[in-house]
């Protein structure tokens, strides 16, 4: 009855269905893993942001000593005080915030112990801003409250920073910035939340991280629903083919006979298939 399923076209159909189901099931699991990663990220941000503000040196000390990784400090709130190195200021270009293109103003700060900390001071909604026209940092001793961030890395296909002194950067890559900054550089940088004295100019506070779970759950359900549709479609195709022609041809072939309807004349009356055979003597 189902011998037609072994025909070449049907075998190709089976393989295509299996590959589609395998692909879509794995895409569903991929979205599930992305959802779990997002939930872990949200949990880390909430827990670390809820901790009390601590001195920068105290928070970073385990990383400097090699007892902890920089990733474990991300989103911790810290306090630091020092003097901005205005001449070393750079712009992080190709940024956007609230749907507006712009740049981040990045200024190193030298602490009392000589350590240099890169501070992302805020966002300016101007894609054509030059480093010479960027808002200058406050002079003298400045106290900053901010959140810890780790060095950014170039993603696959991302632009490569040119050689030499940089005035604009694509990312806050601390090892790359260390090549042009005086003094030892801290292993993390800081996103500014508050400044004393306050900053001047068109600087906007950096946006808080988005803590939604995104569309990953709905995408996961969609991929698995599509894979179920492929399975249902395969079953319907098999049943329809079996009912339309798969059963009788298989049974006739096994019996060795051939079914043929009697021939009819134009008036609709049955006619012998061979008149000569019908009148032949026995």
pLDDT in tens, 184-196: 999 999 999 999 9
Q: How far apart are CA 191 and CA 130, in angstroms?
A: 21
What are the pLDDT digits (tens) for 42-52?
Answer: 999 999 999 99
φ, ψ dihedrals at 85, nearest 5°: -95, 85
- DSSP-derived letter for residue 140 is S
3-state SS track over 29-83: HHHHHHHHHHHHHHHHHHHHHHCCCEEHHHHHHHHHCCCCCHHHHCCCEEEEEEE
pLDDT at 250: 37
Q: How far apart are CA 217 and CA 107, in angstroms?
A: 39
DSSP E strands: which ranges in the chain? 54-55, 77-84, 90-97, 100-111, 116-124, 141-150, 168-169, 188-196
Q: Which residues of the chain have pLDDT under 70?
A: 1, 245-282
């Amino acid at each position: 009855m189902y011998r037609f399923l072994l025909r070449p076209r049907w075998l190709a159909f089976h393989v295509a269905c299996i590959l589609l189901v395998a692909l879509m099931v794995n895409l569903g699991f991929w979205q599930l893993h992305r959802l779990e990663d997002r939930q872990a990220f949200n949990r880390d941000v909430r827990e670390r942001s809820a901790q009390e503000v601590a001195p920068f040196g105290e928070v970073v000390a385990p990383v400097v000593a090699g007892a902890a990784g920089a990733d474990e400090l991300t989103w911790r709130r810290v306090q630091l005080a020092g003097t901005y190195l205005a001449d070393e200021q750079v712009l992080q270009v190709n940024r956007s915030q609230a749907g507006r293109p712009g740049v981040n103003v990045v200024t190193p700060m030298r602490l009392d112990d000589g350590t240099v900390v890169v501070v992302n001071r805020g966002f300016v909604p101007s894609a054509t801003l030059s480093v010479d026209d960027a808002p200058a940092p406050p002079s003298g001793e400045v106290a900053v409250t901010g959140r810890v961030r780790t060095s950014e890395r170039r993603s696959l296909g991302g632009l490569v920073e040119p050689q030499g002194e940089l005035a604009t950067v694509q990312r806050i890559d601390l090892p790359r910035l260390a090549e042009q900054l005086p003094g030892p550089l801290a292993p993390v940088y800081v996103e500014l939340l508050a400044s004393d004295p306050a900053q001047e100019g068109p600087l906007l506070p950096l946006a808080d991280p988005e803590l939604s779970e995104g569309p990953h759950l709905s995408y996961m359900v969609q991929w698995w629903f599509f894979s179920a549709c492929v399975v249902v479609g395969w079953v319907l195709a098999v049943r329809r083919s079996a009912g339309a022609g798969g059963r009788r041809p298989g049974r006739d072939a096994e019996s060795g006979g051939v079914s043929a309807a009697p021939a009819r004349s134009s008036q609709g009356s049955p006619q012998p298939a061979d008149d000569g055979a019908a009148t032949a003597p026995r």
